[in-house]
Homo-oligomer: A and B are copies of this chain.
Amino acid sequence: MMLQPGSFPQCEPRLFLKLALEKMNAEKLGIVCIAEADGKLAGIFTDGDIRRMLLKDQKPFPALFTDDVIVHAVKKPTTVHPDDSLMQAIEVMEQKEIWDLPVVDENGALCGLLHLHPAIKALLGMA
């Protein structure tokens, strides 16, 4: 039930923040994963980061929207490894109280995204 690349919001570090938000809207997910050209995860940016940014950084919209997304991203997010079990991943999301876990291999490459809803659906046999 891991979301495969292409089926969740992903962008490069220097994308305009506004375009990153549009990718989130298009996929109806509250997270965008930011990867370097070589595939390595550079950070994540979530709906909660938008809220915290708005209250901290009161630049006018046009200026904020044309910042590189990486400027406002969480650079060292919690991740899981492709070999970790579903239950391990859910426990990590519960301990950290987060909704998403980028799946990252031993080379730092982004392999996919584990979102809590499909994970819980799988756990409950609702998938």
Contacts and interface: CB of A to CB of B under 8 A. Distances in A.
Tallying the copies of this chain within the complex gives 2
Interface stretch (A17-25, A33-41, A69-77, A102-110): A17-25
Interface in A103-125: 116-117, 120-121, 124
Contacts of A99: 99
A48 interface: yes
Contacts of A18: 55
A87 to B, nearest CB: 8
B124 A21 contact: no
Contacts of A46: 47
Interface of A: 18, 21-22, 24-25, 30, 46-48, 50-52, 54-55, 58, 60-61, 90-91, 94-95, 97, 99, 116-117, 120-121, 124, 126
Given A21-B55, A50-B50, 4 more contacts: A25-B51, A46-B47, A91-B126, A99-B99
24 contacts: A18-B55, A21-B51, A22-B55, A24-B51, A25-B52, A30-B48, A30-B51, A46-B47, A47-B47, A47-B48, A47-B51, A50-B51, A58-B61, A60-B60, A60-B61, A90-B120, A90-B124, A91-B126, A94-B124, A94-B126, A99-B99, A116-B116, A116-B120, A120-B120
